[in-house]
């Protein structure tokens, strides 16, 4: 059989694509390097030319997700028409759009991420996302502090507080999706709405912004998300 020649970049991306899919489908603990190379059609020797281990593959999956997330956020910093509050609202708006667009996959993603055999996967991804998001959020707050549109005396510390506030929301969204799937869409939507409301309040208050200046959620979001 003739070996198909592919450039190293293409191969690397192919391996990351495949690993990401298998990790989410079958769980990180349950996926082996052999599963990945069988799927991609590569020899073990060739695989180790690209990645030293399954852990290295996990790092690459997490790093690529972080890079993609940063690519989506970066234009916000460059838009001169926005102040810091506008940038935060634009971030929340784009994350809402993404959540509604991806709701069907998101259910599977959450189901996978919150499995016990995926604790390591979940936290590597979370760490990688935090590593790129923290400097980004710090820069938004630093500029906001400078222009006086919000109050964050230590921008980096406050940025971490905001990222931590966000952590609970993923679990609540997962719980709401499970409840909705079990048939109770109304009360799942009410629960999620109330949580998003509290999250928004906590963000506003932490930055000493007037009530109503941050729109983490919008009317109908929870229902649209759960019905998608």
User: CA 204, CA 138: separation in Å to the nearest integer?
Assistant: 16
Query: Which H or E element spans position 41?
Result: none
Find the shortest distance in angstroms from Cβ 155 to a copy of itself: 9
CA distances from 81 to 43, 65, 145, 177 (A): 52, 28, 17, 36
105/164 with CB nearer a copy of itself: 164
93/157 with CB nearer a copy of itself: 157
77/167 with CB nearer a copy of itself: 167
Find the shortest distance in angstroms from Cβ 104 to a copy of itself: 26
Find the shortest distance in angstroms from Cβ 116 to a copy of itself: 8
- Contact residues for a copy of itself, defined by CB under 8 A: 119-120, 123, 153-154, 157-158, 160-161, 163-168, 172, 194-195, 197-199, 201-202, 205-208
The DSSP symbol for 154 reads S
Find the shortest distance in angstroms from Cβ 39 to a copy of itself: 26
- 22 with 36: CB under 8 angstroms? yes
* 23 CB-contact burial (10 Å; exposed 0-12 / middle 13-18 / buried 19+): buried
195/225 with CB nearer a copy of itself: 195
Find the shortest distance in angstroms from Cβ 204 to a copy of itself: 9
Find the shortest distance in angstroms from Cβ 113 to a copy of itself: 12
Enter the tokens of residue 222: 């929870």
Q: Which distant-in-sequence residues (6+ apart) come within 8 Å of 187 by Cβ?
A: 179
35/59 with CB nearer a copy of itself: 59
68/164 with CB nearer a copy of itself: 164
- 39 with 19: CB under 8 angstroms? no
- 46 with 36: CB under 8 angstroms? no
- Three-state DSSP at 90 gives helix
């Amino acid at each position: 059989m003739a070996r198909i020649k592919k450039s190293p970049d293409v191969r690397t991306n192919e391996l990351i694509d495949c690993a990401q899919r298998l990790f989410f489908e079958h769980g990180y603990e349950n996926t082996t390097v052999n599963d990945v190379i069988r799927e991609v059609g590569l020899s073990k020797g060739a695989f180790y030319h690209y990645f030293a281990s399954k852990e290295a593959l996990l790092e690459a999956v997490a790093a690529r997700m972080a890079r993609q997330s940063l690519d989506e956020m970066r234009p916000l910093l460059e838009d001169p028409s926005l102040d810091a509050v506008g940038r935060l609202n634009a971030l929340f708006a784009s994350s809402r759009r993404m959540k509604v667009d991806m709701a069907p996959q998101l259910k599977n993603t959450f189901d996978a991420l919150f499995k016990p055999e995926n604790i390591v996967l979940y936290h590597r991804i979370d760490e990688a996302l935090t590593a790129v998001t923290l400097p980004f959020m710090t820069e938004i707050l630093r500029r906001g502090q400078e222009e006086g549109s919000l109050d964050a005396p230590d921008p980096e510390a406050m940025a971490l507080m905001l990222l931590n506030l966000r952590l609970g929301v993923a679990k609540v969204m997962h719980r709401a999706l499970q409840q909705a799937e079990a048939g109770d869409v109304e009360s799942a939507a009410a629960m999620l709405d109330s949580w998003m409301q509290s999250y928004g309040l906590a963000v506003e208050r932490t930055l000493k912004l007037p009530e109503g200046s941050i729109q983490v959620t919008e009317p109908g979001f929870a229902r649209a998300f759960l019905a998608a």
